[in-house]
Amino acid sequence: MTAARRLTVRRESFPIRGSFRISRGAKTVAEVVVAEVEQDGVRGRGECVPYARYGESVAGVAEVLEGLAGEVAAGLDRRRLAELVPPGAARNALDCALWDLEAKLSGVPVWQLAGLPQAPGPLITCYTLSVDEPAAMAAAARERAPRHPLLKMKLTGEGDLERVRAVRAAAPQARLVVDANEGWTVELLRRFAPAFAELGVEMIEQPLPAGQDEALRGIACPLPLGADESCHGLDSLERLAGLYQVVNVKLDKTGGLTEALAMTRAAEAAGFDVMVGCMVATSLAMAPAVLVGQGARFVDLDGPLLLAQDRDPGLVYDGAVLQPPARELWG
């Protein structure tokens, strides 16, 4: 019989360094929800970012989690959690907390519990440049490129070619990927993609609004297209085939590590390349995604680098090199 477990739900805020701007708007604070499950004096934690784009709020996600306290006390496991809560932020926080708790109670790290072939190694993560005027984005690229060889540019529509040209001139050796966050039309994609290919861009993420994906069918794009807002759980993959070449796996969309690992395997088997991404959040949210990032074509786990202050202890970043999490943090 499982010993009694207690669920604690906390809402926390972490100021962002400056502001984080994408095509939909800007934010200056990362609002997160933490689920903590305690058993026999041992605590497992998971963090999520409720996202308004997907109909979530901090209050709503916290309410869903608090409503699961009785189930947790009765021994809720990850399989039952997936039956009770749909993919999204709430399931993510509790799924990751249950993985962390099991690892700490058993003394077996999560990568072994999950059946992964080897311990996670360091990753090279993107560094994200908020959308801004070309000169400002160029200045940010010039500052970051010496220690961050892979830059991810947030774009928005008109003026994006000037933005990419400015960043390429400022960081001629950097690898570049771009993310329109649903801000383009098919006409902009046709106009920008050939020029971006000449500028050495490696991938265009979410050019069109989710729901308009079918317009991509048959377009001869010279660059791989990545699905983010269009890609959530396992049931997304069949619909995206033939439209995108890369899928962005985020734990806040899949509903935690459990489905993220399954989705990564399924995506690779279906011929997609994988990007592992994140919301702007602390190291506690990034830590489980480090396992998903092993072998991914693109890794975008720079959330803590965008904060004015991270958790302590947090993940260790040496420029773009992200080390696996210490046991004290997660897993």
Choosing from 27, 104, 152, 154, which is the catalytic residue?
154
Between strands 6-22 and 25-39, the pairing is antiparallel
* Residue 170: CB atoms within 10 Å: 20
User: Is 250 assigned a catalytic role?
Assistant: yes
Binding residues: 179, 205, 228
Query: Which residue among 104, 152, 250, 253 is the active-site one?
Result: 250
CA atoms within 13 A on the CB side of 19: 8
Cα–Cα distance between 15 and 51 in angstroms, integer? 17
Residues sharing a CB contact under 8 Å with residue 99, sequence separation 6 or more, in sequence order: 44, 46, 78, 110, 113, 114, 256, 257, 258, 288, 331
Q: Return the bridge partners of 273, or none.
A: 246
Residues in the annotated binding site for Mg(2+): 179, 205, 228
Q: Where are the alpha helices (DSSP H) in 223-299?
A: 237-240, 251-254, 257-269, 283-292
> What is the C-alpha to C-alpha distance for residues 150 and 181, in angstroms, rounded to an integer?
18
| 122: preceding bond cis by omega (within 30 degrees) | no
Residue 325 CA from chain centroid, whole number: 16
Q: What separation in angstroms does the CA of 320 have from each of 127, 218, 300, 306?
A: 7, 36, 10, 13
**From edge to edge, which strands make up the β-sheet containing 123-124?**
123-124, 321-322, 317-318
Distance CA 71, CA 278 (A): 28
Catalytic residue list:
154, 250
